[in-house]
Amino acid sequence: MNVAISIAGQTLDAPFDARFGRAESFCVVETDTGNWTIHANPALSASGGAGVLAAQLIARLGAQAVVSGAYGPKAHRTLSAAHIDCFLAPGNEARSAAEILDAFTSGRLALADSATHGGHHGD
């Protein structure tokens, strides 16, 4: 399967980015082969709706799961509509994307059944 991880950098050694919509980039890993690709997050500079835009990128990249530190209501709704599982990794300690990947593949990460916080826009 393909899993997308929010990161701040260009390789698997780059630090994990706990923000979803405003992550610098996403690393998409094919868990069977270990092959990975890096994709810049177009939502980084969006004036609003960053989570919605980032979620559509993840869907387009063909990921079945995503790992980040938090999901807003609109990001979660968009990812759910795309049948993408949202996994949570704590962002309060510095870790690399590779370490997050290891935690994911060994089944140590929890699913976010709903948004982890309120929206930043309007409501």
Partner 1 sequence: MRIVVASGKGGTGKTTVATSLAQVAAERDAVHFLDCDVETPDAALFLHPSLDVHREVGIRVPRVDPQACNACGTCAEICRFNAIAVVGETTLVFDDLCHGCGSCTWMCPEQAITEHLFVTGTIDSGTTPDGIAFARGLMNVGQAMGMPILRELKKRTPSPMPRSSGAPRRALEIRDAPPGASCPVVETMRGADFVLFVTEPTPFGLHDLKQVVAIAHDLGIPAGVVINRDGIGDDAVGAYCAEHDLPILLRIPMDRRIAEAIAGGRTLVEAAVDYRPKFRDLLEQILAEATV
Q: Which residues bind partner 1 (CB under 8 A)?
A: 43, 46-50, 52-53, 55-56, 59, 74, 77-79, 81-83, 119, 121-123
Minimum CB distance to partner 1 smaller for 62 or for 90: 62
The minimum distance between CB 86 and partner 1, in angstroms, equals 13
Across-strand partners of 36? Answer: 29
Across-strand partners of 66? Answer: 4, 86
The minimum distance between CB 99 and partner 1, in angstroms, equals 29
Give strand ranges (E) for 1-123. 2-7, 25-30, 36-40, 65-68, 85-88, 110-111
What angle in degrees, to the nearest 10, is found between the helix axes of 73-81 and 50-60?
20
Minimum CB distance to partner 1 smaller for 107 or for 122: 122
Across-strand partners of 88? Answer: 68, 110
Minimum CB distance to partner 1 smaller for 68 or for 78: 78
The minimum distance between CB 82 and partner 1, in angstroms, equals 4
